[in-house]
Amino acid sequence: MVQRVCPSCSAISDTEKSFCPECGSSFDQSTTTSSSRDGGGLATTGLVCGIVAFLFLPIVLGPLGIIFGAIAWNKGHPRGRTATIVSIAGLIVGMIFGALMWA
């Protein structure tokens, strides 16, 4: 199924029709969404950074995961919020774990 973004009203439509169901404007070929446009890659990258931050380089990977997750969340991707929360937890827990290991 192809999602389309209306160039007039910015409504997202799952229809195969050539007109927007919200405002009736015509879709053109440049209005289809892709995973890079909707933040899917950013959400996945943020989630991976957050998970890895639990054990390795939390001071670097935690904030990177938060940034990637927040951008994906802002773009409306459903995993963006999860990536942000996991990255925050990875940053905090990873820093505590590192402090305990070095103490």
Residues 37-51 have a mean pLDDT of: 81
Taking the C-alpha atoms of residue 69 and residue 77, their distance in angstroms, rounded to an integer, is: 9
- pLDDT score for 7: 67
Residue appearing with tokens 């229809």:
15
Phi/psi of residue 97, nearest 5 degrees: -60, -45
Residue type, 87: S
The whole-number pLDDT of residue 21 equals 72
Q: Which of 2-6, 58-62, 70-74 has the lowest mean pLDDT?
A: 2-6
Enter the tokens of residue 40. 């899917």
Backbone angles phi, psi at 5, to 5 degrees: -110, 125
Global confidence as pTM:
0.60
Contact between 43 and 54 under an 8 Å Cβ cutoff? The reply is no
